[in-house]
Structure 1
Amino acid sequence: MQTRPELTGNIAARNDLSVLTVPAFKDNYLWLIHDGRHAAVVDPGDSSPILASLEEHGLTLTAILLTHHHADHIGGVPALLKRFPVPVFGPRNDGIDAVTDPLDEGDSFTVPGLGLELAVLEVPGHTLGHIAYVRKTPGLHWLFCGDTLFAGGCGRLFEGTPAQMAASLEKLAALPEDTEVYCAHEYTLSNLRFALAVEPANEALALRMRDESAKRAAHLPTVPSSIGLERRTNPFLRYREPEIVASLVAAGKLRDGAAQGEAFAALREWKNVF
Protein backbone atom coordinates (compact mmCIF):
# COMPACT_ATOMS: atom_id res chain seq x y z
CA MET A 1 0.00 0.00 0.00
CA GLN A 2 1.27 3.45 -0.85
CA THR A 3 1.43 6.18 1.74
CA ARG A 4 0.91 9.84 1.02
CA PRO A 5 3.53 11.65 3.13
CA GLU A 6 1.54 14.89 3.19
CA LEU A 7 -1.32 13.10 4.95
CA THR A 8 0.60 10.94 7.39
CA GLY A 9 2.50 11.83 10.53
CA ASN A 10 4.96 9.83 12.59
CA ILE A 11 2.55 9.28 15.46
CA ALA A 12 2.52 6.13 17.56
CA ALA A 13 -0.52 3.91 17.16
CA ARG A 14 -3.26 4.73 19.67
CA ASN A 15 -4.89 1.98 21.67
CA ASP A 16 -7.15 4.25 23.74
CA LEU A 17 -9.66 5.08 21.03
CA SER A 18 -13.36 4.23 21.10
CA VAL A 19 -16.22 4.40 18.63
CA LEU A 20 -19.54 5.94 19.64
CA THR A 21 -22.72 4.87 17.87
CA VAL A 22 -24.88 7.88 16.98
CA PRO A 23 -28.30 6.94 15.55
CA ALA A 24 -29.84 9.31 13.00
CA PHE A 25 -32.90 9.48 10.77
CA LYS A 26 -34.86 6.21 10.66
CA ASP A 27 -32.04 3.68 10.53
CA ASN A 28 -28.69 5.43 9.96
CA TYR A 29 -25.65 5.05 12.16
CA LEU A 30 -23.14 7.88 12.37
CA TRP A 31 -19.80 7.08 13.98
CA LEU A 32 -17.70 9.19 16.34
CA ILE A 33 -14.15 7.95 16.82
CA HIS A 34 -12.73 9.57 19.97
CA ASP A 35 -10.10 9.49 22.71
CA GLY A 36 -12.14 11.21 25.41
CA ARG A 37 -11.15 14.69 24.21
CA HIS A 38 -10.99 14.79 20.42
CA ALA A 39 -13.27 13.13 17.90
CA ALA A 40 -13.63 12.43 14.19
CA VAL A 41 -17.04 11.78 12.68
CA VAL A 42 -17.74 9.31 9.88
CA ASP A 43 -20.55 10.11 7.43
CA PRO A 44 -22.44 12.82 9.37
CA GLY A 45 -25.71 12.89 7.47
CA ASP A 46 -27.25 15.00 10.24
CA SER A 47 -25.39 17.52 12.37
CA SER A 48 -27.82 17.68 15.29
CA PRO A 49 -27.17 14.26 16.86
CA ILE A 50 -23.43 14.68 16.32
CA LEU A 51 -23.36 18.08 18.02
CA ALA A 52 -25.43 16.68 20.88
CA SER A 53 -23.11 13.70 21.28
CA LEU A 54 -20.01 15.90 21.20
CA GLU A 55 -21.45 18.07 23.94
CA GLU A 56 -22.64 15.12 26.03
CA HIS A 57 -19.21 13.49 26.00
CA GLY A 58 -17.13 16.66 26.18
CA LEU A 59 -15.51 16.13 22.79
CA THR A 60 -14.02 18.54 20.25
CA LEU A 61 -14.39 17.64 16.58
CA THR A 62 -11.05 17.45 14.75
CA ALA A 63 -11.95 15.81 11.41
CA ILE A 64 -14.78 14.66 9.18
CA LEU A 65 -14.52 11.42 7.18
CA LEU A 66 -16.86 10.73 4.26
CA THR A 67 -17.39 7.53 2.27
CA HIS A 68 -19.71 8.72 -0.52
CA HIS A 69 -21.92 11.56 -1.68
CA HIS A 70 -25.44 10.54 -0.63
CA ALA A 71 -27.28 13.15 1.44
CA ASP A 72 -27.80 10.91 4.46
CA HIS A 73 -24.00 10.67 4.72
CA ILE A 74 -22.93 14.27 4.07
CA GLY A 75 -25.97 16.42 4.91
CA GLY A 76 -24.63 17.53 8.29
CA VAL A 77 -21.22 18.65 7.04
CA PRO A 78 -21.98 22.37 6.46
CA ALA A 79 -23.41 22.87 9.95
CA LEU A 80 -20.52 21.01 11.56
CA LEU A 81 -17.97 23.09 9.67
CA LYS A 82 -19.60 26.29 10.97
CA ARG A 83 -18.84 25.13 14.50
CA PHE A 84 -15.61 23.28 13.81
CA PRO A 85 -13.43 24.38 10.84
CA VAL A 86 -11.81 20.97 10.42
CA PRO A 87 -10.42 19.04 7.45
CA VAL A 88 -12.86 16.91 5.49
CA PHE A 89 -11.45 13.63 4.18
CA GLY A 90 -13.34 11.87 1.46
CA PRO A 91 -13.29 10.22 -1.97
CA ARG A 92 -11.57 12.10 -4.75
CA ASN A 93 -14.03 10.99 -7.39
CA ASP A 94 -17.49 11.06 -5.82
CA GLY A 95 -18.47 14.67 -6.37
CA ILE A 96 -18.36 16.02 -2.80
CA ASP A 97 -17.49 19.72 -2.84
CA ALA A 98 -16.79 19.86 0.90
CA VAL A 99 -13.82 17.46 0.70
CA THR A 100 -10.54 19.24 1.51
CA ASP A 101 -8.36 16.13 1.57
CA PRO A 102 -9.27 13.88 -1.39
CA LEU A 103 -8.34 10.22 -1.09
CA ASP A 104 -7.64 7.37 -3.50
CA GLU A 105 -7.04 3.63 -3.30
CA GLY A 106 -3.82 2.91 -1.41
CA ASP A 107 -3.67 6.22 0.46
CA SER A 108 -3.15 6.26 4.19
CA PHE A 109 -3.41 9.21 6.56
CA THR A 110 -3.41 10.09 10.23
CA VAL A 111 -6.64 11.51 11.60
CA PRO A 112 -5.92 14.93 13.15
CA GLY A 113 -6.10 14.99 16.93
CA LEU A 114 -6.37 11.22 17.28
CA GLY A 115 -3.11 9.74 16.02
CA LEU A 116 -5.24 7.19 14.19
CA GLU A 117 -3.82 5.90 10.93
CA LEU A 118 -6.36 4.76 8.38
CA ALA A 119 -5.88 3.14 4.99
CA VAL A 120 -8.20 3.82 2.07
CA LEU A 121 -9.89 1.29 -0.19
CA GLU A 122 -11.90 2.18 -3.26
CA VAL A 123 -15.14 0.16 -3.19
CA PRO A 124 -17.33 1.22 -6.14
CA GLY A 125 -20.79 -0.22 -6.63
CA HIS A 126 -23.23 1.71 -4.46
CA THR A 127 -21.69 4.86 -5.96
CA LEU A 128 -18.83 4.99 -8.43
CA GLY A 129 -16.46 6.86 -6.14
CA HIS A 130 -17.30 5.14 -2.83
CA ILE A 131 -14.36 4.54 -0.46
CA ALA A 132 -13.87 2.71 2.83
CA TYR A 133 -11.53 3.37 5.75
CA VAL A 134 -9.52 0.58 7.38
CA ARG A 135 -7.65 0.56 10.68
CA LYS A 136 -4.99 -2.13 10.64
CA THR A 137 -3.42 -1.69 14.08
CA PRO A 138 -2.57 -5.23 15.33
CA GLY A 139 -5.48 -6.51 17.38
CA LEU A 140 -7.59 -3.42 16.61
CA HIS A 141 -8.98 -3.86 13.12
CA TRP A 142 -11.78 -1.50 12.12
CA LEU A 143 -13.64 -0.97 8.85
CA PHE A 144 -15.86 2.03 8.09
CA CYS A 145 -17.56 0.98 4.88
CA GLY A 146 -20.52 3.30 4.42
CA ASP A 147 -23.14 1.60 2.25
CA THR A 148 -20.95 -1.02 0.55
CA LEU A 149 -21.01 -3.90 3.03
CA PHE A 150 -23.89 -4.19 5.47
CA ALA A 151 -24.40 -6.59 8.33
CA GLY A 152 -25.81 -9.56 6.43
CA GLY A 153 -26.06 -7.71 3.13
CA CYS A 154 -24.68 -5.08 0.76
CA GLY A 155 -25.73 -1.73 -0.68
CA ARG A 156 -27.95 -1.21 -3.70
CA LEU A 157 -26.27 -0.55 -7.02
CA PHE A 158 -27.27 3.03 -7.70
CA GLU A 159 -24.30 3.82 -9.95
CA GLY A 160 -21.98 0.84 -10.27
CA THR A 161 -22.28 -2.59 -11.83
CA PRO A 162 -22.72 -5.98 -10.16
CA ALA A 163 -19.15 -6.84 -11.15
CA GLN A 164 -17.84 -3.71 -9.43
CA MET A 165 -19.78 -4.41 -6.24
CA ALA A 166 -18.72 -8.06 -6.18
CA ALA A 167 -15.07 -7.01 -6.53
CA SER A 168 -15.46 -4.40 -3.79
CA LEU A 169 -16.96 -6.95 -1.42
CA GLU A 170 -14.19 -9.42 -2.19
CA LYS A 171 -11.70 -6.71 -1.23
CA LEU A 172 -13.43 -6.20 2.11
CA ALA A 173 -13.85 -9.93 2.72
CA ALA A 174 -10.06 -10.29 2.44
CA LEU A 175 -9.55 -8.22 5.59
CA PRO A 176 -8.72 -10.05 8.85
CA GLU A 177 -11.62 -11.98 10.35
CA ASP A 178 -11.60 -9.92 13.55
CA THR A 179 -12.07 -6.65 11.66
CA GLU A 180 -15.02 -4.79 13.18
CA VAL A 181 -17.45 -3.70 10.46
CA TYR A 182 -18.96 -0.27 11.05
CA CYS A 183 -21.58 0.06 8.32
CA ALA A 184 -24.04 2.93 8.10
CA HIS A 185 -27.52 1.41 8.50
CA GLU A 186 -29.53 -0.86 10.77
CA TYR A 187 -30.72 -3.21 8.02
CA THR A 188 -29.56 -6.41 9.67
CA LEU A 189 -32.77 -8.31 10.36
CA SER A 190 -34.15 -7.58 6.91
CA ASN A 191 -30.88 -8.72 5.38
CA LEU A 192 -30.83 -11.91 7.44
CA ARG A 193 -34.39 -12.82 6.50
CA PHE A 194 -33.31 -12.70 2.87
CA ALA A 195 -30.12 -14.62 3.65
CA LEU A 196 -32.15 -17.42 5.26
CA ALA A 197 -34.40 -17.57 2.21
CA VAL A 198 -31.43 -18.23 -0.06
CA GLU A 199 -29.32 -20.38 2.29
CA PRO A 200 -31.73 -21.99 4.78
CA ALA A 201 -29.37 -24.80 5.83
CA ASN A 202 -26.66 -22.41 7.07
CA GLU A 203 -26.55 -23.10 10.83
CA ALA A 204 -24.33 -20.09 11.54
CA LEU A 205 -26.89 -17.91 9.82
CA ALA A 206 -29.77 -19.29 11.89
CA LEU A 207 -27.77 -18.65 15.06
CA ARG A 208 -27.01 -15.13 13.93
CA MET A 209 -30.67 -14.40 13.27
CA ARG A 210 -31.48 -15.51 16.82
CA ASP A 211 -28.76 -13.36 18.35
CA GLU A 212 -29.45 -10.26 16.28
CA SER A 213 -33.20 -10.53 16.85
CA ALA A 214 -32.54 -10.52 20.59
CA LYS A 215 -30.43 -7.38 20.27
CA ARG A 216 -33.13 -5.54 18.35
CA ALA A 217 -35.80 -6.67 20.81
CA ALA A 218 -33.68 -5.02 23.49
CA HIS A 219 -33.28 -1.89 21.30
CA LEU A 220 -29.56 -2.55 20.85
CA PRO A 221 -27.65 -2.03 17.60
CA THR A 222 -26.51 -5.06 15.63
CA VAL A 223 -23.49 -3.12 14.35
CA PRO A 224 -20.53 -3.46 14.42
CA SER A 225 -20.36 -6.87 12.86
CA SER A 226 -17.11 -8.61 11.95
CA ILE A 227 -15.57 -9.76 8.71
CA GLY A 228 -15.47 -13.34 10.01
CA LEU A 229 -19.19 -13.31 10.77
CA GLU A 230 -19.96 -11.80 7.37
CA ARG A 231 -17.95 -14.49 5.62
CA ARG A 232 -20.00 -17.16 7.38
CA THR A 233 -23.44 -15.64 6.97
CA ASN A 234 -23.63 -12.87 4.36
CA PRO A 235 -25.01 -14.19 1.05
CA PHE A 236 -23.28 -11.44 -0.93
CA LEU A 237 -19.93 -12.79 0.22
CA ARG A 238 -21.15 -16.37 -0.27
CA TYR A 239 -22.90 -16.13 -3.65
CA ARG A 240 -20.73 -18.95 -5.03
CA GLU A 241 -22.04 -21.43 -2.42
CA PRO A 242 -23.96 -24.30 -4.08
CA GLU A 243 -27.04 -23.84 -1.89
CA ILE A 244 -27.33 -20.16 -2.81
CA VAL A 245 -26.89 -20.88 -6.51
CA ALA A 246 -29.50 -23.64 -6.27
CA SER A 247 -31.92 -21.26 -4.54
CA LEU A 248 -31.47 -18.71 -7.31
CA VAL A 249 -32.12 -21.34 -9.97
CA ALA A 250 -35.13 -22.76 -8.13
CA ALA A 251 -36.65 -19.29 -7.77
CA GLY A 252 -36.23 -18.62 -11.48
CA LYS A 253 -33.71 -15.87 -10.83
CA LEU A 254 -30.78 -17.62 -12.53
CA ARG A 255 -30.41 -20.07 -15.37
CA ASP A 256 -28.76 -23.37 -14.53
CA GLY A 257 -25.06 -23.32 -15.38
CA ALA A 258 -24.77 -19.53 -15.35
CA ALA A 259 -21.47 -17.82 -14.65
CA GLN A 260 -20.62 -16.79 -11.09
CA GLY A 261 -20.93 -13.12 -11.97
CA GLU A 262 -24.49 -13.70 -13.07
CA ALA A 263 -25.23 -15.29 -9.70
CA PHE A 264 -24.15 -12.15 -7.85
CA ALA A 265 -26.23 -9.92 -10.11
CA ALA A 266 -29.26 -12.19 -9.72
CA LEU A 267 -28.85 -12.23 -5.94
CA ARG A 268 -28.74 -8.43 -5.75
CA GLU A 269 -31.77 -8.10 -8.03
CA TRP A 270 -33.72 -10.58 -5.90
CA LYS A 271 -32.91 -8.69 -2.72
CA ASN A 272 -34.19 -5.48 -4.34
CA VAL A 273 -37.70 -6.92 -4.48
CA PHE A 274 -37.62 -9.32 -1.53
Structure 2
Amino acid sequence: MSVAIVTDSTAYLPASVVDAHGIQVVPLHVVIAGTEYSEGVDVSTTEVAAALRAFRPVSTSRPSPQAFLDAYEKAAADGATAVVSVHISADMSSTVESAHLAARHSPVPVTVVDSRSLGMAMGFGVISAAELAAEGASAQEVADRALWRCEGSTVVFYVDTLEHLRRGGRIGLASAFLGSALAIKPILGLSDGHIRGVEKVRTSGRALARLEELALAAGDAPQGVDVAVHHLDSQTRAEGLASRLRERMQGAHEILTVELGAVVGAHVGPGTLAVAVSPRP
Protein backbone atom coordinates (compact mmCIF):
# COMPACT_ATOMS: atom_id res chain seq x y z
CA MET A 1 0.00 0.00 0.00
CA SER A 2 1.20 3.50 -0.85
CA VAL A 3 -0.27 6.12 1.50
CA ALA A 4 -0.13 9.79 0.54
CA ILE A 5 -0.30 12.57 3.13
CA VAL A 6 -2.41 15.70 2.73
CA THR A 7 -2.67 18.52 5.25
CA ASP A 8 -3.67 22.16 5.25
CA SER A 9 -1.70 25.37 5.46
CA THR A 10 -2.30 25.89 9.20
CA ALA A 11 0.26 23.17 9.96
CA TYR A 12 2.89 25.79 9.03
CA LEU A 13 5.34 23.15 7.92
CA PRO A 14 8.63 24.47 6.55
CA ALA A 15 8.80 24.16 2.76
CA SER A 16 11.86 21.93 3.03
CA VAL A 17 9.89 19.43 5.15
CA VAL A 18 6.94 19.45 2.74
CA ASP A 19 9.24 18.77 -0.20
CA ALA A 20 11.28 16.09 1.57
CA HIS A 21 8.21 14.04 2.52
CA GLY A 22 6.07 14.70 -0.54
CA ILE A 23 3.26 16.19 1.56
CA GLN A 24 0.44 18.03 -0.22
CA VAL A 25 -0.69 21.24 1.50
CA VAL A 26 -4.13 22.70 0.77
CA PRO A 27 -4.31 26.41 1.65
CA LEU A 28 -6.96 28.07 3.78
CA HIS A 29 -8.01 31.58 2.78
CA VAL A 30 -7.77 35.00 4.39
CA VAL A 31 -9.92 37.95 3.35
CA ILE A 32 -8.47 41.44 3.84
CA ALA A 33 -10.86 44.34 3.21
CA GLY A 34 -12.94 42.20 0.86
CA THR A 35 -10.10 40.66 -1.14
CA GLU A 36 -9.48 36.93 -0.75
CA TYR A 37 -5.99 35.43 -0.66
CA SER A 38 -4.61 31.90 -0.30
CA GLU A 39 -2.45 31.35 2.77
CA GLY A 40 1.16 30.67 1.91
CA VAL A 41 0.57 31.55 -1.75
CA ASP A 42 -0.24 35.21 -2.29
CA VAL A 43 -0.46 36.88 1.13
CA SER A 44 2.19 37.42 3.80
CA THR A 45 1.89 37.55 7.55
CA THR A 46 3.35 41.07 7.39
CA GLU A 47 0.34 42.17 5.32
CA VAL A 48 -2.07 40.59 7.80
CA ALA A 49 -0.33 42.18 10.79
CA ALA A 50 -0.43 45.58 9.08
CA ALA A 51 -4.13 45.19 8.29
CA LEU A 52 -4.95 44.26 11.88
CA ARG A 53 -2.99 47.22 13.24
CA ALA A 54 -4.85 49.51 10.84
CA PHE A 55 -8.20 48.01 11.92
CA ARG A 56 -8.96 46.88 8.38
CA PRO A 57 -11.45 43.98 8.29
CA VAL A 58 -9.73 40.58 8.22
CA SER A 59 -11.52 37.23 8.13
CA THR A 60 -10.70 33.65 7.17
CA SER A 61 -12.37 30.79 5.33
CA ARG A 62 -11.86 27.09 4.73
CA PRO A 63 -10.66 25.50 1.49
CA SER A 64 -13.37 24.31 -0.88
CA PRO A 65 -14.13 20.57 -1.13
CA GLN A 66 -12.89 20.79 -4.73
CA ALA A 67 -9.46 21.91 -3.51
CA PHE A 68 -9.20 18.74 -1.44
CA LEU A 69 -10.55 16.57 -4.23
CA ASP A 70 -7.88 17.97 -6.53
CA ALA A 71 -5.24 16.95 -3.96
CA TYR A 72 -6.69 13.45 -3.59
CA GLU A 73 -6.88 12.96 -7.35
CA LYS A 74 -3.28 14.08 -7.71
CA ALA A 75 -2.21 11.60 -5.02
CA ALA A 76 -3.99 8.81 -6.90
CA ALA A 77 -2.45 9.87 -10.20
CA ASP A 78 0.97 9.77 -8.56
CA GLY A 79 0.41 6.16 -7.54
CA ALA A 80 -1.09 6.38 -4.03
CA THR A 81 -3.58 3.68 -3.10
CA ALA A 82 -4.86 5.59 -0.05
CA VAL A 83 -4.71 9.07 1.47
CA VAL A 84 -4.46 10.26 5.08
CA SER A 85 -5.67 13.87 5.33
CA VAL A 86 -4.76 15.66 8.60
CA HIS A 87 -6.35 19.00 9.46
CA ILE A 88 -6.88 21.86 11.90
CA SER A 89 -9.28 21.24 14.78
CA ALA A 90 -12.92 21.14 13.68
CA ASP A 91 -13.71 23.49 16.56
CA MET A 92 -11.45 26.14 15.03
CA SER A 93 -12.37 25.73 11.35
CA SER A 94 -14.72 23.80 9.09
CA THR A 95 -11.75 22.62 7.03
CA VAL A 96 -12.31 19.01 8.16
CA GLU A 97 -15.84 19.18 6.79
CA SER A 98 -14.52 20.14 3.34
CA ALA A 99 -12.09 17.22 3.48
CA HIS A 100 -14.88 14.79 4.37
CA LEU A 101 -17.05 16.06 1.50
CA ALA A 102 -14.18 15.64 -0.96
CA ALA A 103 -13.33 12.17 0.39
CA ARG A 104 -16.72 10.86 -0.81
CA HIS A 105 -15.65 11.43 -4.41
CA SER A 106 -11.98 10.52 -4.15
CA PRO A 107 -10.68 7.83 -6.53
CA VAL A 108 -8.82 6.22 -3.59
CA PRO A 109 -9.88 5.77 0.06
CA VAL A 110 -9.28 8.81 2.27
CA THR A 111 -8.94 8.78 6.05
CA VAL A 112 -9.65 12.27 7.38
CA VAL A 113 -8.03 13.12 10.72
CA ASP A 114 -9.30 15.96 12.92
CA SER A 115 -6.03 16.83 14.67
CA ARG A 116 -7.80 18.74 17.47
CA SER A 117 -4.84 21.08 17.13
CA LEU A 118 -3.09 23.50 14.77
CA GLY A 119 0.34 24.90 13.91
CA MET A 120 3.37 22.69 14.38
CA ALA A 121 1.56 20.72 17.09
CA MET A 122 -0.34 19.38 14.10
CA GLY A 123 2.68 19.66 11.82
CA PHE A 124 4.81 17.28 13.86
CA GLY A 125 1.97 14.75 13.66
CA VAL A 126 1.89 15.18 9.89
CA ILE A 127 5.64 14.60 9.71
CA SER A 128 5.37 11.40 11.75
CA ALA A 129 2.53 10.24 9.52
CA ALA A 130 4.64 10.81 6.41
CA GLU A 131 7.59 8.95 7.95
CA LEU A 132 5.42 5.95 8.84
CA ALA A 133 3.77 5.96 5.41
CA ALA A 134 7.23 5.83 3.82
CA GLU A 135 7.85 2.61 5.77
CA GLY A 136 4.85 0.97 4.13
CA ALA A 137 2.35 1.20 7.00
CA SER A 138 -1.38 0.99 6.38
CA ALA A 139 -3.58 4.07 6.13
CA GLN A 140 -5.12 3.35 9.55
CA GLU A 141 -1.70 2.97 11.18
CA VAL A 142 -0.58 6.23 9.60
CA ALA A 143 -3.74 8.05 10.71
CA ASP A 144 -3.43 6.66 14.24
CA ARG A 145 0.18 7.83 14.47
CA ALA A 146 -0.75 11.35 13.34
CA LEU A 147 -3.61 11.61 15.84
CA TRP A 148 -1.54 10.15 18.69
CA ARG A 149 1.12 12.78 18.23
CA CYS A 150 -1.32 15.66 17.76
CA GLU A 151 -3.33 14.71 20.84
CA GLY A 152 -0.17 14.31 22.92
CA SER A 153 1.15 17.77 22.10
CA THR A 154 1.03 20.78 24.38
CA VAL A 155 0.33 24.26 23.00
CA VAL A 156 0.62 27.40 25.10
CA PHE A 157 0.60 30.93 23.77
CA TYR A 158 0.60 34.58 24.68
CA VAL A 159 -1.41 37.28 22.92
CA ASP A 160 -1.07 41.01 23.33
CA THR A 161 -4.86 41.33 23.31
CA LEU A 162 -7.86 38.98 23.31
CA GLU A 163 -9.72 41.30 20.94
CA HIS A 164 -8.79 39.47 17.73
CA LEU A 165 -9.85 36.10 19.16
CA ARG A 166 -13.10 37.65 20.38
CA ARG A 167 -13.89 39.21 17.00
CA GLY A 168 -13.19 35.95 15.18
CA GLY A 169 -15.32 33.89 17.56
CA ARG A 170 -12.35 31.70 18.56
CA ILE A 171 -12.17 32.71 22.22
CA GLY A 172 -13.60 29.36 23.37
CA LEU A 173 -13.06 28.42 27.01
CA ALA A 174 -10.86 31.50 27.51
CA SER A 175 -13.90 33.79 27.47
CA ALA A 176 -13.67 34.15 31.25
CA PHE A 177 -10.53 36.24 30.69
CA LEU A 178 -12.38 38.90 28.70
CA GLY A 179 -13.64 40.89 31.68
CA SER A 180 -10.14 41.80 32.82
CA ALA A 181 -8.50 41.77 29.39
CA LEU A 182 -7.23 45.33 29.66
CA ALA A 183 -5.43 44.63 32.91
CA ILE A 184 -3.71 41.38 32.01
CA LYS A 185 -1.44 39.64 29.55
CA PRO A 186 -3.23 36.33 29.02
CA ILE A 187 -1.53 32.97 28.59
CA LEU A 188 -3.76 30.58 26.70
CA GLY A 189 -3.60 26.97 25.60
CA LEU A 190 -5.32 24.36 23.46
CA SER A 191 -7.42 21.70 25.12
CA ASP A 192 -9.12 19.11 22.88
CA GLY A 193 -9.27 21.56 20.02
CA HIS A 194 -10.52 24.51 22.08
CA ILE A 195 -8.72 27.62 23.30
CA ARG A 196 -8.67 27.74 27.09
CA GLY A 197 -7.33 30.15 29.65
CA VAL A 198 -4.16 29.06 31.43
CA GLU A 199 -2.97 32.02 33.50
CA LYS A 200 -3.37 35.75 33.91
CA VAL A 201 -0.15 37.71 34.30
CA ARG A 202 0.50 41.43 34.54
CA THR A 203 3.34 42.09 32.14
CA SER A 204 4.59 40.78 28.80
CA GLY A 205 7.92 39.93 30.44
CA ARG A 206 6.20 37.74 32.99
CA ALA A 207 4.14 36.14 30.23
CA LEU A 208 7.27 35.17 28.30
CA ALA A 209 8.84 33.73 31.43
CA ARG A 210 5.74 31.61 32.09
CA LEU A 211 5.64 30.40 28.50
CA GLU A 212 9.20 29.21 28.95
CA GLU A 213 8.43 27.39 32.21
CA LEU A 214 5.27 25.78 30.84
CA ALA A 215 7.16 24.58 27.77
CA LEU A 216 9.91 23.11 29.93
CA ALA A 217 7.35 21.25 32.02
CA ALA A 218 5.73 19.82 28.89
CA GLY A 219 9.13 18.77 27.55
CA ASP A 220 9.71 16.20 30.27
CA ALA A 221 8.91 13.16 28.11
CA PRO A 222 11.09 10.03 28.33
CA GLN A 223 11.27 9.57 24.56
CA GLY A 224 12.16 13.21 23.91
CA VAL A 225 10.20 15.98 22.21
CA ASP A 226 10.17 18.27 19.21
CA VAL A 227 9.43 21.94 19.83
CA ALA A 228 8.28 24.85 17.68
CA VAL A 229 8.23 28.47 18.80
CA HIS A 230 5.63 30.29 16.73
CA HIS A 231 5.23 34.04 16.45
CA LEU A 232 3.41 36.72 14.52
CA ASP A 233 5.50 39.80 13.79
CA SER A 234 7.66 39.15 16.85
CA GLN A 235 10.72 37.34 15.54
CA THR A 236 13.27 38.75 17.98
CA ARG A 237 11.29 37.62 21.02
CA ALA A 238 10.60 34.24 19.42
CA GLU A 239 14.27 33.62 18.66
CA GLY A 240 15.21 34.61 22.20
CA LEU A 241 12.68 32.18 23.65
CA ALA A 242 13.85 29.39 21.33
CA SER A 243 17.47 30.03 22.33
CA ARG A 244 16.66 29.78 26.04
CA LEU A 245 14.71 26.56 25.47
CA ARG A 246 17.67 25.05 23.62
CA GLU A 247 19.85 25.79 26.63
CA ARG A 248 17.42 24.44 29.21
CA MET A 249 15.35 21.68 27.59
CA GLN A 250 17.48 18.56 27.76
CA GLY A 251 15.02 16.24 26.02
CA ALA A 252 14.42 18.39 22.93
CA HIS A 253 15.41 16.73 19.69
CA GLU A 254 14.60 19.80 17.58
CA ILE A 255 13.54 23.36 18.40
CA LEU A 256 12.27 25.37 15.44
CA THR A 257 11.26 29.00 15.13
CA VAL A 258 8.27 29.21 12.79
CA GLU A 259 6.24 32.29 11.94
CA LEU A 260 2.48 31.88 12.15
CA GLY A 261 0.71 32.20 8.85
CA ALA A 262 -1.98 34.61 7.76
CA VAL A 263 -4.98 32.53 8.85
CA VAL A 264 -4.08 31.87 12.49
CA GLY A 265 -2.39 35.27 12.64
CA ALA A 266 -5.67 36.94 11.72
CA HIS A 267 -7.25 35.51 14.88
CA VAL A 268 -4.46 35.97 17.42
CA GLY A 269 -2.98 39.29 16.28
CA PRO A 270 0.49 40.83 16.10
CA GLY A 271 2.87 40.15 18.96
CA THR A 272 1.63 36.62 19.58
CA LEU A 273 4.12 34.03 20.80
CA ALA A 274 3.30 30.31 21.02
CA VAL A 275 5.15 27.15 21.94
CA ALA A 276 4.18 23.71 20.65
CA VAL A 277 5.79 20.74 22.44
CA SER A 278 5.29 17.37 20.76
CA PRO A 279 6.41 14.05 22.29
CA ARG A 280 8.25 11.88 19.79
CA PRO A 281 6.94 8.41 18.87
Q: Which interval holds the TM-score relative to the shorter structure?
A: 0.3 to 0.5
Whichever structure has more helix as a proportion of its residues is 2
Superposition TM-score, scaled by structure 2 size: 0.32
Superposition TM-score, scaled by structure 1 size: 0.33
Larger relative contact order, structure 1 or 2 (CA cutoff 8 Å, min sep 6): 2
